[in-house]
A and B are shown apart, each in its own frame.
Chain A
Amino acid sequence: MRYLAQRLAWAAVILLGTTAITFAILFVVPGDPARVVAGPRADAATLATIRHELGLDRSLPVQYGQYLWRLSHGDLGRSYATRQPVATTLVRRLPATAALASAGLAIAVLIGLVGALVTAPLAGTWLDRAILVASLALLSAPVFWLGMMGLYWIGFRWRLVPLGGAGSLRHLILPALVLGLGTGVYYARLLHTNLQEVLALDYIRAARARGVAPLRLVGVHALRNAGLPLLTVIGLDFASLMNGVVLTETVFHWPGLGRLAFDAVLALDVPMIMGTVLLSAGLVVVTNLAVDVLYRLVDPRIRLE
C-alpha cells in the first residue's frame, strides 16, 4: 500500500513536470495565439482584448499558476480554436484512440505469443534465421509507410477494408494491424530469445522427464517465466506506441487524440496542447504503474518495496 502511494505521488510529480515543460516550450513559440484566435485581419484593439481575455497579457509564472489552479479544480480550459472546453473534446476523442491503441497492443501481444511459440522449436535452423531477418526488416519499416502500403493493397486493390475513417470493426482492423505489427514482431523475437534461455533450465528438463507434453511444456511451463520481461517492455513501449498512434491516425484519418494533438500544436492551441500532452503522459504513467504492480503480482519473488 505504501509502495502504491509513493508511486502515485511520483506519477503526479511526473505529470506536473510535463505540464511545466510544455508550458515553457509554448512560451518561446514565436507565434501569437491571440493572432491565431482573432484571424489575420484583426486590428490591434481586438488583439489586445483577446489577449486579455485569454490571460496572455500576464507574466508566464502567473499564467502557469492560473493554469495549475484551474487544473486542480478539474478545469482544462477552452480551446483557442473552437472555444469548446478541452475536457469535452478529449472525452469525445478518447474512445477512438483507446480502441486503436488497445487493439494494436492486443495484436502485438498476439503476434508476439504465437510467433514465439511457433519459432521456438525452429531455433538454430535456417528457417529461424530467415524469420529473424524478415522480422528485423519489418521492424525497420516506417509505420506510416506500412499503413499506406496496407491501404493500397488490402484496402484499394483487394477491397477488404475501407480506405480510412472510423466507425466499425472493419475500419479498425487495418490501422490496428499496422500499429501492432512491428511491435508484435519485436515481442516475438524477445520472447523467442527468452524461451531459449528458459528451456535450458533444470525445471524444464525435470518437467520433460515427467512426460509433460511439448506444447504444454513450452506454452505453460516455459512461457510463464519467459513472458515476465515482456511485461516490462510493454510498459516501456507504451510511449512509443503513442508515437505510432499519431502517425497511424494521420494515415487512416482516424478521429483520435493523436491527430487532435498534432493539429493543436500546428494551430498553437495552447490549452488543447496542454490537455492532450497531459492525457497521453497520464496514459503512459498509468500503464507503467499497472505493469509494475502486475509484475509484482505475477512474480511473487519481487516484493512491493
Chain B
Amino acid sequence: MRSGLLRAGVVMGFFLVVLAIVGPTLAPFDPTAPVSPHLAEPTSPGAPFYLGTDDLGRDVLSRLLYGARISLLVGLVAMVVTMAIGTTIGLAAGYFGGVVDTVLMRFTDVMLAFPGLLLAVALVAVMRPSVWTIFIVIGLVSWTGVARVVRSEALSLRERDFVIAARAMGATHGRIVFRHILPNVVPTLIVIAALSTSGTILLDAGLSFLGIGVPPPTPTWGRMIQEASTYYRVAPWLMAFPGLAVLYAVLAFNLIAYGLTGEGRGVR
C-alpha cells in the first residue's frame, strides 16, 4: 500500500515538474496582460478562458501555468537551503558533541520557540523583496526540524565501529564526516527532503497570501489566492483553482514522504 502511495506521489511530482518546464509554452495567454474584454470584473470559466479571468482581466489558466514554475522553484530551492543549513548544523552538533552540541541545540531550541511565519515576515522586511530573499528566508526559518533529525542520526553513527576504526587510522574530522557519516544519513535526508518540500511550498504560499512573497508581476499561486480573496463571494473560482494547485503540489511530496516512511506533513 505504501509503495502504491509512493508511486502516486512520484507520478504526480513528475507531472508537476514537466508542467513547470513546459507550462509557459502551453499557456494560451500572457499571464500579466489584461486579455479579457471585461477588464474591471472577473469573468467565470468558459472558452476561451477555461478557468475564467481575474479582476484585472488576466487569464487564470495562464497565470496558473506560469505560477507552477515559480512556485515549484521556490519550494525546491528553499528546500535545498533548508537542508543545507539543517544538515550542517545537525552534523556538527551530532558528530562533535559536547559544547558544540549544547550550543547548537540550544540555538535550535530558541529558533523553535519563534513563530516561524512572523520571523519570516520580519526577515523579508529586512532584506530586499525578491525571489532570492524568499529562498533564503524560508530556509532560515525551516531548518530546525532537519537539524534535529540529522543530529540524532549523527550521534548514533559516530559511535559505530567503522567510524571508530576510521578515527583510529587517523582520518581527519572532515573525512569522517563526509565519507563515513554523511553517506549513511542520505536515506534519511531523502525522506526529509520530500517532507520539507511540502513545508516550503506551503510556507511560500502563506507568505504570498500575506502579501510579502515573490513580488509581482510574477504570478505565484499564493498571491493569486490573496488577490482573489477580495472577490471570493462573486468569483470563488479565482481562489479555488490556485488553492487546488498548491494542494496538488504539496500532496505530491507528502505522498512521496508517506510512501517512504509512513509519515506525512512537514518536519519539526
* Residues of chain A at the chain B interface (Cβ within 8 Å): 13-15, 17-18, 21-22, 25-26, 28-31, 129, 132-133, 136-137, 139-145, 148-149, 151-152, 156, 186, 189, 193, 236-237, 239-240, 242-243, 246-247, 250-251, 261-262, 265-266, 268, 273, 276-277, 280-281, 284-285
Interface residues in B188-239 by Cβ distance below 8 A to A read 198, 202, 205-206, 209-210, 222, 225, 228-229, 232-233, 236, 239
* C-alpha spacing A268/B265, complex, angstroms: 33
Contact flags B90-127 to A (C-beta < 8 A → 1, else 0): 00000000000000001101111111111101110110
Given contacts A277-B114, A280-B118, A281-B115, contact A145 B109 (CB under 8 A): no
Segment among B21-29, B169-177, B247-255 that sits at the interface with chain A: B247-255
Quote the shortest CB–CB distance from A287 to chain B (angstroms): 10
Quick one: which of A136, A156, A277 contacts B251, CB cutoff 8 A?
A136
CB <8 Å contact, A144 and B254 = no
| A148 close to B232 (CB less than 8 A) | yes
| A277 interface neighbour in B112, B118, B233, Cβ under 8 Å | B118
B126: contacting residue among A28, A262, A281, CB under 8 A: A28
The answer to whether A142 touches B122, judged by C-beta atoms less than 8 angstroms apart, is no
Contacts of B116 in A (CB 8 A): 239-240, 243
Interface centre among A14, A193, A280 (most CB of B within 10 A): A14
Compute how far the CA of A152 lies from the CA of B263 in the bound complex, rounded to whole angstroms.
31
Per the bound structure, the CA–CA distance linking A140 and B258 in Å amounts to 12
Residues of B with C-beta under 8 A to A243 = 115-117, 206
- Bound-complex Cα distance A136 to B262 (A): 11
Q: Say how far A242's CB is from chain B's closest CB, in angstroms.
A: 4
A-B contact count (CB 8 A): 148
The 8 Å CB contact of B246, one of A14, A141, A148, A242, is: A141
Chain A CB within 8 A of B167 CB: no
Q: Does B45 contact A (CB under 8 A)?
A: no
- Give B232 Cβ to nearest chain A Cβ, in Å: 5
Assess A284 versus B243: contact at CB under 8 Å? Given A144-B206, A276-B118: no
- Once A246-B115, A247-B209, A280-B115 are accepted as A-B contacts, the answer to whether A142 and B265 lie under 8 Å apart by CB is no
B264 touches A139 (CB 8 A): yes
Given A26-B122, A277-B118, A239 and B250 touching (CB < 8 A)? no
> Is the pair A140, B239 in contact by a Cβ cutoff of 8 Å?
no
Q: A243–B115 Cα gap in the complex (Å)?
A: 6
Q: How many Å lie between the Cα of A243 and that of B114 in the bound state?
A: 10
- Interface residue range, chain B: 35 or more
- B254 CB contacts on chain A under 8 angstroms: 136, 139-140
- Listed residue (A22, A141, A156, A280) with the most chain B CB atoms within 10 angstroms of its CB: A141
Task: Specify the chain A residue showing the minimal Cβ separation from B240.
Answer: A149
Query: In the complex the two chains form, what is the Cα distance from A165 to B94 in whole Å?
Result: 48
Contact between B115 and A189 (Cβ–Cβ < 8 Å)? no
A280 to B206, CA, bound (A): 19
Q: Is B1 an interface residue (CB 8 A)?
A: yes
Q: Shortest Cβ distance from B264 into chain A, in angstroms?
A: 5
A239 touches B112 (CB 8 A): yes
Chain A residues, CB < 8 A from B265: 139, 186
A-B contact pairs, 18 of them (CB 8 A): A14-B109, A132-B258, A136-B251, A141-B247, A142-B202, A142-B209, A142-B243, A144-B205, A144-B206, A145-B225, A149-B236, A193-B262, A237-B268, A243-B115, A246-B115, A247-B209, A266-B121, A281-B113
Nearest chain A residue, comparing its CB with the CB of B257: A136
What A residues does B251 contact at CB under 8 A? 136-137, 140
Set of chain A residues within 8 Å of B80, measured between Cβ atoms: none
Given the complex, which residues of B lie within 8 Å of A31, measured CB to CB? 125
B260 to chain A, nearest CB (A): 13
A261 and B115 contact, Cβ closer than 8 Å, known pairs A29-B126, A142-B202? yes
**Leading 7 A-B pairs by shortest Cβ distance:** A17-B110, A145-B243, A140-B250, A140-B251, A243-B117, A281-B113, A242-B115
**Pick from B106, B125, B126, B268: contact of A13, CB under 8 Å:** B106
Residues of chain B within 8 A (CB-CB) of A144 are 205-206, 209, 225
Asked if A142 meets B246 with Cβ closer than 8 Å, knowing A21-B114, A236-B268, the reply is yes
Report the nearest B residue to A156, measured CB to CB: B233
Q: Which residue of A lies closest to B251 (CB)?
A: A140
- Chain B residues positioned under 8 Å from A133 (CB to CB): 5
